[in-house]
Structure 1
């Protein structure tokens, strides 16, 4: 983006926005609300006399706290980039201390250095945004339910049920309530998908792949922003931590090719479950797995290959717009 003449770095916190203009050098703080953001825009244009098309806003993704700023900038058609905190941190090298004003300056410097490479933020549709929030809530409730089920199971095994009746019944009621709420959330998720023609089409295409279930299909749709945020399945595999990378240097370092620990762990977990399911119920995948194991190949390495196979198929069916066809059943 050669036309960019000023980069505005913003450090977002719950109540405030710390702002730094890279070339101008000005910095200030305002409130993290609609009025504060309007004040932010007015103060920027009072310091720099350039058109809005030549200003780039850069800030970290902070979930709920950055939503108002994203909504405002998108509505007013400003150029902005929402960056990964880890990406900014690593690009700046060694830093000492932490302060909101200094962080805003670092973000502005990052944006200015990377302005010709970074991609502008593409705000997801309202349906995708709602899906993401509901899936996040579902994940939290499922985790809480699992905790209560595990706890009450151990307690019933050890404690006297007559003396600890209240302990058991109260937890059972909580589990029942969580089951009801999870069910309601799942129904609302299905409703949102069915009401959006494009999302529903993608959802049905993903379910045509044996091994990929409803939760994983919903996760893939949300995390890829309807398969627009990642250009290839390999990039998303790297994001999920299932893409193998070499570990070699010169003649002395000859490490194993392995996946990176930098990963979106939820995606890795879901794809692992999909791979296990595919090994059990997909004859093609089962044959592939058994053949590699008989050859003495590592089981986890084989499972990782299957994870990548399923992900590649997911991107392929979306790109083609047609369901997955199991060619093995046509083989003679």
Structure 2
């Protein structure tokens, strides 16, 4: 597709600010289906035949950009969703904050990088539902952990009878959260079980030593069914376990290390997988003990194991066969 024009869109809760790059015109619309339709009519009036080479570019703003993404995808109009930080760092020094100016900057960024455009594949509806349920589950688990810790400390410090109301209230909240978390787990498992493809991937991932249900779901959802990342190394970079060099000229010769800019939830889950793998996988345990015996750093060793677990996860799904523990065949 030859891109002839860019419309940059600044998405906010209630409005969409659109800017046509080469034409230099801008307009504001409501962030609703009717408002998006009005924007498309406005674009057609301004561009005419150039609509054939039009690309919409906007930032990922989570819930607020979902309606726009769904509309453009259904209408088969080309669009590109870009992280806000990527746009911010590409445009140099910018003073002030204005939605119309932001739309213009997004359009400029889209025009400069138009040769890099790759058609976006919208997540499957089931995966989108899974992601929302998983996000809610994560919040409830964090709340439950907070209440459990608070209740334990209060019982230790305050003692018994005079504070029973304080304890019973928090215990009731914990019981309620337990019930809701279990219901969410059941709903997520049901979504997977009803889809043969998702269920197949889920089953294959669980054959890898160290990977449990929560991590398997995370990998399926955040790779869009293993379609968004060309290799496990790309995903390793996304979750912050891929090492990068830290050198510059002759003065800076730092250690190779991971980058903080990452999906931290994925990094935490893979770290837990690595710890489990060291405990229950003879191969990983032997590898870990060998490196530690050689005086290697423990955390760098654990990071290597995180990458090994991730590589195996991608391999079993791409290959379509369960993981085989070859160590058990060694006599």
TM-score (norm 1): 0.98
What's the C-alpha RMSD, in Å, of the aligned pairs?
Answer: 1.0
Q: Is the 8 A contact 2:4 2:50 kept in 1?
A: no
**1:252-292, Cα deviation, whole Å (9 max, x unpaired):** 22110100111110000000000000111111100100110
Q: How far apart are 1:160 and its partner, in Å?
A: 3.2
Q: Is the 8 A contact 1:9 1:58 kept in 2?
A: yes
Distance 1:257 1:216 in 2: 26
Secondary structure of the residue aligned to 2:181 is helix
Q: Is the 8 A contact 2:240 2:264 kept in 1?
A: yes
1:128 corresponds in structure 2 to 127
Moved more, 97-106 or 218-227: 97-106
Structure 2 matches for 1:116-265, cutoff 5 A? 116-265=115-264
Secondary structure of the residue aligned to 1:35 is helix
Structure 2 matches for 1:267-286, cutoff 5 A? 267-286=266-285
Secondary structure of the residue aligned to 2:121 is coil
Secondary structure of the residue aligned to 1:325 is coil
Distance 2:52 2:160 in 1: 69
Structure 2 matches for 1:94-113, cutoff 5 A? 94-113=93-112
1:71 corresponds in structure 2 to 70
Secondary structure of the residue aligned to 1:163 is helix
Secondary structure of the residue aligned to 1:188 is helix
Distance 2:158 2:307 in 1: 46
Distance 2:200 2:303 in 1: 27
Secondary structure of the residue aligned to 1:8 is strand
Question: Are 1:5 and 2:30 matched, yes or no?
Answer: no
1:295 corresponds in structure 2 to 294
Q: How far apart are 1:51 and its partner, in Å?
A: 4.8
Where do 4+ consecutive residues of structure 1 move more than 3 Å?
Answer: none
1:48 corresponds in structure 2 to 47
Secondary structure of the residue aligned to 2:16 is strand
Q: Is the 8 A contact 2:5 2:50 kept in 1?
A: no
Secondary structure of the residue aligned to 1:11 is strand
Q: Mind listing any 5+ residue stretches in structure 1 that lack a counterpart?
A: none
Secondary structure of the residue aligned to 1:225 is coil
2:328 corresponds in structure 1 to 329
Q: Mind listing any 5+ residue stretches in structure 2 that lack a counterpart?
A: none
**1:101-129, Cα deviation, whole Å (9 max, x unpaired):** 11111111111111110322211111111
Distance 1:65 1:187 in 2: 28
Moved more, 93-102 or 316-325: 93-102
Question: Are 1:61 and 2:73 matched, yes or no?
Answer: no
Q: How many residues align?
A: 331
